């Protein structure tokens, strides 16, 4: 497979102004007739040759302007259709035969259970018909679908339904027309025997929009939360971004077999069932929040993605980074802003930082790829959103909104670049984002090293901040970034007034305790004056930039920030840092053969937190959660992560806190019991999350915690509490503790796919010696299916990603298991195979494991028939 470069971008030499498609859906095969209204793109030369994309297609007929095309005028290649001597304007028509029933890649048109559905982003449309399958070719689509009336009473595509008729042969025919030009990746089709719920939304200008969610009949009661979320998203986008919906209909369809979470096809969003269905017995609290966020994300794409789309796939973050920023703002407004921020930063630091330090590291706007599917990454999405957030911080909310308005107004109906976005932000605000653009072009996580100096006589305090960025593949030397460092200074009685040396006091704010320092040079010193005492610096408030920050805090300083800072994020982050430092210390003690001695300071800090009734329980739950094993491994650095040591130390700290704070934990646990019927309200969710944290500590500390977990499992009226109990029992108990409840869970909920998936995940993350045999055994379970991405992710993905102790077993059996599954999936579903592989690519991190991990990668590399997806990840990570 070859490499594609951003620098080679060329505009298409033909445009497709109108696209008419006719599908005849059958049980063996589907016939697709296309009518493409082509127009030469004279801006881009006058070549009469056109190369269309096409994959796994059988070309049955081909016509030009109504006449059969002479075979000398075209050539069918492996993944192309080459056309010669095309007139400047013409109608090209093709009939292709495809076999959706055999399509296990879940790209293009395929079967999921009893229905037909599509997934065309990024390059799936070429598996439907020959086309210019690239986002800068925008076309008005008209779609006719013929299908068996009994089997497929529901036939959907983008835009408006214009006609329905019954054909003589027992087929229904529908005609859909989408007035908005769109790229092929936003095309969608669904056919099935589906039920739907319906609601409506009145837009700010008074248009009535019909909202429908389509699901299999058995799931019809699980749609309400998604519908409410959709309406909230539509209102929020009007209020906060001034974006109104533009058609009279908006459809959502839930499908079981789906590679991604969901897809923003114009007016026909297709969702993975796991990201849209909600029921207290199948969906956890976190799941409810995820559904709200993803419904919003896909809806927001209607403007940031669909009305204004990407010129090429290197610009993916243009729509994804911006839309993740938008959905994060939405979630913050719907719930707790600080908790949402903590969740996002946790993901960024434990997974995106690792990606940015690994063999697949790439800039937010990559410069090359082999397989674009490999670039739907945490870097493009989450770091991309952080870059947009920094622009928001630099410009302020009003200028940012002006920039967003200008961007949408100027580029409506166009396919544009990240540069166009930045230009609109600059023009609307007057800001110079020249150097800021390095965030788009340079990979790697910048490191900020901060030192301080206190001058008692002068009452001045100096912070010296230096930045650097490690080399990443293809980028050895990095230019300095523009890094907004939001900060404050904490004194004995609270946050201190900030006065920078050489700057006039800010007349607007009497109580000036917060500021954003612009770090844009390799090293800078900021001096604060007029201070009554030596402060503790509160740095990177709200995680104002996606960087690693190093400052030599004492444990006392961290405790002070934890309890006394104005910024919720810094309070949480200080608790994390304290946790890291304590766990690392215990790890060294255990390694030396000593007993674990957990610093009493930490135990008391946890105790104090538990007594803090003023803190939001959701926030308290976050502050009391120890850093994850993965994050600790990431912090250990290359060649130094000792998973067993980390696990033992972390468990010892859990147990120590559990014993030390037993009374307070038991008290909180009891107090927070939710008596009311399950509801996914902020208050209930907060209570359950803090209870789960308490239960975890108590169970780590011994039998009484396990007894509580058992009682919780028996009494729960929802999956959140059931799973929390099962998790605790299976993490800290012995077989006799978890065996019966594990079996009971399946007996009770085995008929609910989404519940079974989580049951698989709990078992995949168990730390005991039987884990690998258990995962292999579960792969034989009648409910497991290698063709279903959700099942694979739940069982194998969780095992490799969330069970470090067993994945990294010394005998290499964890690696072997993953390699075998990837090898099998390579031909079934390359996209999922390549994603699953990620944990093996981190071979540089793990102490004493590099050879074993590499050798599994090498085995994959030597396989016949390796997909481009897996090839790219394997070959880059072996470099
Ligand atoms: N469906 C994916 C998303 O919305 C890709 N566009 O992020
Ligand atoms: Zn998206």
Ligand 2 centroid to Cα of residue 216, in Å, is 25
Number of the ligand closest to the Cα of 270: 1
Q: Which atom of ligand 1 is nearest to the CA of 294?
A: 4
pLDDT digit string (tens) for 631-667? 999 999 999 999 999 999 999 999 999 999 999 999 9
Number of the ligand closest to the Cα of 327: 2
Q: Which helix (H) or strand (E) holds 762?
A: helix 753-764
In a domain, 385, yes or no: yes
Residue (of 802, 640, 670, 627) closest to 727 by Cα position: 802
Instruction: Look up residue 242 and give its DSSP letter.
Output: -
Distance from C-alpha of 164 to C-alpha of 629, rounded to nearest angstrom? 56
Q: Which atom of ligand 1 is nearest to the CA of 376?
A: 5
Q: Identify the pLDDT of residue 43.
A: 84
Please indicate, yes or no, whether residues 504 and 422 belong to a single structural domain of this protein: no
Residue (of 625, 590, 588) closest to 606 by Cα position: 625
Mutate to test the pocket of ligand 1, among 261, 304, 374, 377 (most ligand atoms within 8 A of CB): 261
In a domain, 286, yes or no: no
In a domain, 152, yes or no: yes
Of 172, 193, 214, the position where a domain reaches its end is 193
Distance from C-alpha of 722 to C-alpha of 734, rounded to nearest angstrom? 18
Distance from C-alpha of 86 to C-alpha of 107, rounded to nearest angstrom? 30
Mutate to test the pocket of ligand 1, among 301, 315, 322, 382 (most ligand atoms within 8 A of CB): 301
In a domain, 694, yes or no: no
Q: The domain that contains 767 carries what CATH number? A: 1.25.50.10
Of 150, 168, 193, the position where a domain reaches its end is 193
Ligand 2 centroid to Cα of residue 382, in Å, is 11
Quote the number of domains for the chain: 4
Q: Do 253 and 212 meet the contact criterion of CB atoms below 8 Å apart?
A: no
Using CB distances shorter than 6 Å, the residues near ligand 1 are 121, 260, 262-264, 297-298, 301, 320
Ligand 2 centroid to Cα of residue 332, in Å, is 18
Q: Which atom of ligand 1 is nearest to the CA of 324?
A: 7
Specify the residue with its C-alpha closest to ligand 1, atom 2: 263
Q: Is there a cis peptide before residue 122, judged by omega within 30 degrees of 0?
A: yes
SS3 415: strand
Stretches in the chain below the pLDDT threshold 70: 507-511
Q: Identify the pLDDT of residue 867.
A: 98
Specify the residue with its C-alpha closest to ligand 1, atom 5: 263
**Cβ atoms within 10 Å, residue 628:** 17
In a domain, 539, yes or no: yes
Q: Which atom of ligand 1 is nearest to the CA of 301?
A: 4
Please indicate, yes or no, whether residues 522 and 408 belong to a single structural domain of this protein: no
Of the residues 20, 121, 264, 298, only one is catalytic, namely 298
Distance from C-alpha of 422 to C-alpha of 419, rounded to nearest angstrom? 5
Ligand 2 centroid to Cα of residue 297, in Å, is 6
Mutate to test the pocket of ligand 1, among 118, 263, 372 (most ligand atoms within 8 A of CB): 263
Specify the residue with its C-alpha closest to ligand 1, atom 1: 263
Q: The domain that contains 387 carries what CATH number? A: 1.10.390.10
Ligand 2 centroid to Cα of residue 300, in Å, is 9
Ligand 1 centroid to Cα of residue 438, in Å, is 25
Residue 49: both structure tokens together: 């040759």
Please indicate, yes or no, whether residues 363 and 340 belong to a single structural domain of this protein: yes
The residues whose Cβ lies within 5 A of ligand 2, an ion, are 320, 323
Distance from C-alpha of 609 to C-alpha of 604, rounded to nearest angstrom? 9
pLDDT digit string (tens) for 666-712? 999 999 999 999 999 999 999 999 999 999 999 999 989 999 999 99
Please indicate, yes or no, whether residues 425 and 532 belong to a single structural domain of this protein: no
Q: Which atom of ligand 1 is nearest to the CA of 261?
A: 1
E strands in 777-832:
none
Q: Identify the pLDDT of residue 509.
A: 62
In a domain, 123, yes or no: yes
- In angstroms, the Cα distances linking 43 to 46, 100, 311 are 8, 38, 16
Specify the residue with its C-alpha closest to ligand 1, atom 3: 263
Q: The domain that contains 539 carries what CATH number? A: 2.60.40.1840
Please indicate, yes or no, whether residues 31 and 138 belong to a single structural domain of this protein: yes
Please indicate, yes or no, whether residues 53 and 173 belong to a single structural domain of this protein: yes
Please indicate, yes or no, whether residues 378 and 497 belong to a single structural domain of this protein: no
Q: What is the DSSP string of 451-506?
A: EEEEETTTTEEEEEEEEE---BTTB-S-PPP-EEEEEEEEETTEEPPP-BTTS---
Q: Which atom of ligand 1 is nearest to the CA of 381?
A: 7
Number of the ligand closest to the Cα of 321: 2
In a domain, 740, yes or no: no
Please indicate, yes or no, whether residues 403 and 456 belong to a single structural domain of this protein: no
Q: Identify the pLDDT of residue 510.
A: 60
Q: Identify the pLDDT of residue 678.
A: 98
Number of the ligand closest to the Cα of 269: 1
Please indicate, yes or no, whether residues 128 and 5 belong to a single structural domain of this protein: yes
Please indicate, yes or no, whether residues 6 and 30 belong to a single structural domain of this protein: yes
Residue (of 6, 10, 34) closest to 21 by Cα position: 34
In a domain, 436, yes or no: yes
298 given a catalytic annotation:
yes
Specify the residue with its C-alpha closest to ligand 1, atom 6: 263
Ligand 1 centroid to Cα of residue 413, in Å, is 19
Residue (of 723, 712, 811) closest to 771 by Cα position: 811
Please indicate, yes or no, whether residues 346 and 418 belong to a single structural domain of this protein: yes
Specify the residue with its C-alpha closest to ligand 1, atom 7: 320
Q: Do 553 and 577 meet the contact criterion of CB atoms below 8 Å apart?
A: yes
Ligand 1 centroid to Cα of residue 94, in Å, is 29
ipTM above 0.90, yes or no: yes
Q: Which atom of ligand 1 is nearest to the CA of 305?
A: 6
Q: Which atom of ligand 1 is nearest to the CA of 297?
A: 4
Ligand 1 centroid to Cα of residue 253, in Å, is 15
Of 526, 543, 560, the position where a domain reaches its end is 543
Distance from C-alpha of 781 to C-alpha of 779, rounded to nearest angstrom? 5
Number of the ligand closest to the Cα of 325: 2
Domain hosting 455: range is: 447-480+482-543
Mutate to test the pocket of ligand 1, among 123, 124, 264 (most ligand atoms within 8 A of CB): 264
Q: Kindly provide the b/e burial profile for residues 170-206, where b requires at least 16 CB atoms within 10 angstroms of the residue's own CB.
A: ebbbbbbbbebbbbbbbbbbbbbebebbebebebeee
Ramachandran bin of 251, using left for φ above 0, alpha for ψ from -120 to 50, beta for the remaining angles = beta
Q: The domain that contains 181 carries what CATH number? A: 2.60.40.1730
Phi, psi of 763 (to 5 degrees): -70, -30
Please indicate, yes or no, whether residues 173 and 321 belong to a single structural domain of this protein: no
Mutate to test the pocket of ligand 1, among 290, 315, 320, 378 (most ligand atoms within 8 A of CB): 320
Ligand 1 centroid to Cα of residue 546, in Å, is 22
Instruction: Look up residue 350 and give its DSSP letter.
Output: I
Distance from C-alpha of 339 to C-alpha of 875, rounded to nearest angstrom? 39
């Amino acid at each position: 497979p070859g490499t594609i470069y951003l620098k080679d971008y060329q505009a298409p030499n033909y445009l497709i102004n109108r696209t008419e498609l006719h599908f005849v859906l059958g049980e063996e095969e589907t016939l697709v007739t296309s009518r493409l209204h082509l127009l030469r793109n004279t801006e881009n030369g006058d070549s009469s040759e056109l190369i269309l994309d096409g994959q796994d297609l059988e070309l049955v007929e081909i016509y030009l302007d109504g006449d059969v095309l002479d075979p000398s005028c075209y050539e069918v290649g492996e993944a192309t259709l080459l056309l010669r001597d095309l007139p400047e304007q013409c109608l090209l028509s093709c009939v292709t035969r495809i076999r959706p029933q055999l399509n296990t890649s879940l790209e293009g048109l395929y079967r999921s259970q009893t229905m037909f559905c599509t997934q065309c982003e990024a390059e799936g449309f070429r598996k439907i018909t020959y086309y210019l399958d690239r986002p800068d070719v925008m076309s008005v689509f008209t779609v006719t679908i013929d299908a068996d009336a009994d089997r497929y009473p529901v036939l959907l595509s983008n835009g408006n339904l214009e006609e329905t008729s019954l054909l003589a042969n027992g087929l229904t025919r529908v005609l859909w027309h989408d007035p908005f030009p769109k790229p092929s990746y936003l095309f969608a089709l669904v056919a099935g025997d589906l039920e739907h719920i319906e609601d409506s939304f009145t837009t700010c200008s008074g248009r009535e929009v019909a909202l429908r969610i389509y699901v299999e009949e058995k799931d019809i009661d699980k749609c309400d939360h998604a519908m409410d979320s959709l309406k909230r998203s539509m209102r929020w986008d009007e209020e906060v971004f001034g974006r109104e919906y533009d058609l009279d209909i908006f459809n959502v369809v839930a499908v079981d077999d789906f590679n991604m979470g969901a897809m923003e096809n114009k007016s026909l969003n297709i969702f993975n069932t796991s990201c849209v269905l909600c029921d207290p017995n199948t969906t956890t609290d976190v799941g409810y929040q995820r559904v709200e966020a993803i419904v919003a994300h896909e809806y927001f794409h209607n403007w940031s993605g669909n009305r204004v789309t990407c010129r090429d796939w290197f610009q993916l973050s243009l729509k994804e980074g911006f839309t993740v920023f938008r959905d994060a703002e939405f979630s913050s407004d719907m719930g707790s802003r600080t908790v949402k921020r903590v969740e996002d930063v946790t993901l960024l630091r434990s997974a995106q930082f690792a990606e940015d330090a690994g063999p697949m590291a790439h800039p937010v706007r990559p410069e090359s790829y082999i397989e674009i599917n490999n670039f739907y990454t945490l870097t493009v999405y989450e770091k991309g959103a952080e870059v947009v957030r920094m622009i928001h911080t630099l410009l302020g909310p009003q200028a940012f909104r002006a920039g967003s308005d200008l961007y949408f107004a100027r580029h409506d109906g166009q396919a544009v670049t990240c540069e166009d976005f930045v230009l609109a932000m600059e023009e609307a605000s007057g800001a110079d984002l020249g150097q800021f653009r390095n965030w788009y072009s340079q990979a790697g996580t910048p490191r900020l090293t901060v030192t301080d100096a206190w001058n008692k006589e002068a009452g001045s305090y100096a912070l010296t901040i230096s930045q650097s960025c490690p080399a990443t593949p293809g980028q050895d030397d990095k230019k300095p970034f523009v890094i907004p460092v939001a900060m404050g200074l904490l004194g004995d009685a609270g946050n201190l007034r900030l006065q920078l040396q050489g700057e006039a006091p800010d007349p607007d704010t009497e109580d000036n305790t917060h500021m954003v320092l612009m770090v844009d040079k390799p090293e800078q010193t900021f001096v604060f004056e007029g201070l009554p005492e030596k402060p503790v610096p509160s740095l990177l408030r709200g995680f104002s930039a996606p960087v690693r920050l190093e400052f030599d805090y004492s444990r006392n300083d961290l405790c002070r920030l934890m309890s006394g800072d104005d910024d919720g994020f810094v309070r949480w982050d200080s608790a994390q840092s304290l946790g890291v430092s304590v766990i690392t210390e215990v790890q060294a003690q255990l390694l030396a053969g000593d007993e674990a001695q957990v610093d009493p300071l930490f135990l008391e800090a946890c105790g104090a937190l538990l007594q803090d009734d003023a803190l939001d329980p959701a926030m308290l739950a976050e502050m009391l959660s120890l850093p994850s094993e993965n994050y600790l491994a990431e912090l250990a650095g290359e060649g130094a992560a000792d998973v067993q040591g980390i696990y033992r130390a972390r468990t010892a700290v859990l147990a120590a806190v559990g014993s030390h704070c037993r009374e307070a934990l038991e008290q909180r646990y009891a107090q927070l019991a939710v008596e009311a019927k399950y509801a996914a309200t902020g208050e209930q969710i907060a209570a359950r999350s803090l209870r789960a944290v308490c239960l975890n500590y108590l169970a780590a500390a011994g039998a009484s915690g396990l007894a509580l977990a058992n009682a919780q499992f028996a009494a729960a009226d929802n999956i959140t509490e059931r799973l929390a109990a099962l998790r605790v029992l299976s993490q800290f108990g012995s077989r006799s503790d978890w065996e019966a409840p594990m079996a009971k869970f399946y007996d009770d909920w085995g008929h609910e796919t989404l519940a079974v998936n989580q049951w698989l995940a709990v078992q995949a993350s168990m730390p005991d010696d039987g884990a690998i045999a258990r995962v292999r055994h579960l792969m034989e379970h009648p409910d497991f299916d290698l063709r279903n991405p959700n099942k694979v992710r739940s069982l194998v993905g969780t095992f490799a990603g969330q069970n470090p102790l067993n994945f990294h077993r010394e005998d290499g059996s964890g690696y072997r298991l993953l390699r075998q599954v990837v090898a099998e999936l390579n031909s079934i579903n390359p996209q999922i195979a390549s994603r699953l592989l990620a944990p093996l690519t981190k071979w540089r991190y793990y102490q004493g494991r590099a050879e074993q991990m590499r050798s599994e990668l090498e085995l994959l590399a030597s396989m016949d028939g390796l997909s481009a997806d897996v090839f790219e990840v394997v070959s880059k990570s072996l470099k």
